[in-house]
Amino acid sequence: MSIVKRNSKLPAAAGALAALTTVPARADWSLLNMPKGVSELSRDIYDMHMIMLWICLAIAVVTFGAMIYAMIRFRKSRGAVADTKLLHNARLEAAWTIVPTIILIAMAIPSVDKLIKIEDMSGSKLTIKVTGYQWYWHYEYLGRGVSFYSRLARSSDLARQRGSGIDPNTVDNYLLEVDKPLVVPTGTKIRLLLTANDVIHAWWVPDFGMKRDAIPGFMNEMWVSVDADKPGTYRGKCAELCGADHGFMPIVVVAMPPAEFEAWLAQQELRQ
């Protein structure tokens, strides 16, 4: 299968390292940094983010270092006398115009092939239409006759009412649980068609790396492929302000191995 091939392309050592470090690393950093996620796209995006972060930190060390040095070295209280002749330096000024331009273009280049990959919808094995409503989601497995709504779980909905007296900390997955999650197969390229029924929403699961707007009257698309070795439950939410309950329309995706998924889908077909 093509999916297996893609995974085998990953250097084995890096894969093993990731497997060893993923759990503890996420425990420590998940509240400070972007998740690496569970798909090729999310890892690409995470890498871009980290490259940018390190470049910015390096530039910060140099510029802030110069500022701090100037603030310490050239204090009047230390007897510094102003050099009022230091007004221009054509070479210096040309250098700090041209060098950053080159750095910036170099920063943008790695994003090109990643973007091309993100926008390439070809080869998808399954298409799911996602429709945003105020304030819940609707999922439809195109050509499979299965569709359902997905709303905020009752436990969260009760706790989130003002004056409910329920401590959110006692609710499992507060605001991140739904009555009926979206189920997808792992290791499969899935195309999502996004639209909305009323106002603009945005479908976002951080572990998949992508978010895209669901716009009434238009069809947007994006693709998702959960790693074959990472079945699990992944949570996200609406990311575009869509009215009063914008914060209360979570997304839950259960990724399961293709065989299990097919069984689940067949069962759903029978029910509908």
Residues 46-75 that bind other proteins (CB under 8 A): 48-49, 52-53, 56, 59-60, 63-64, 66-67, 70-71, 74-75
Which residues within the stretch 214-243 sit at the binding site for other proteins (CB under 8 A)? 215-218, 220-221, 236-243
Q: Provide the minimum distance between the beta carbon of 107 and other proteins in the complex, in angstroms, as a whole number.
A: 7
Q: Provide the minimum distance between the beta carbon of 252 and other proteins in the complex, in angstroms, as a whole number.
A: 12
Location of structure tokens 């070295």:
73
Interacting stretch for other proteins, rule CB under 8 A, among 6-14, 101-109, 142-150, 258-266?
101-109
CB atoms < 10 A from the CB of 190, how many?
A: 21
Please tell me whether residue 133 binds other proteins under the rule CB under 8 A: no
Please tell me whether residue 25 binds other proteins under the rule CB under 8 A: no
Which residues within the stretch 2-21 sit at the binding site for other proteins (CB under 8 A)? none
What are the residues whose beta carbons fall under 8 Å from the beta carbon of 184, sequence distance 6 or more? Answer: 126, 128, 190, 224, 226, 253, 254, 255, 256, 261
CB closer to other proteins out of 198 and 262: 198
Which residues within the stretch 175-214 sit at the binding site for other proteins (CB under 8 A)? 175-176, 198-200, 202, 204, 206, 209-213
CB 235 within 8 A of CB 250: yes
Q: Provide the minimum distance between the beta carbon of 25 and other proteins in the complex, in angstroms, as a whole number.
A: 14
3-state secondary structure of 113: helix
Instruction: For residue 80, give both structure tokens.
Output: 């510094």
What are the residues whose beta carbons fall under 8 Å from the beta carbon of 6, sequence distance 6 or more? Answer: 40
Please tell me whether residue 168 binds other proteins under the rule CB under 8 A: yes
DSSP symbols for 139-175: EEETTTTEEEEE-B-HHHHHHTSTT----GGGSTTTT
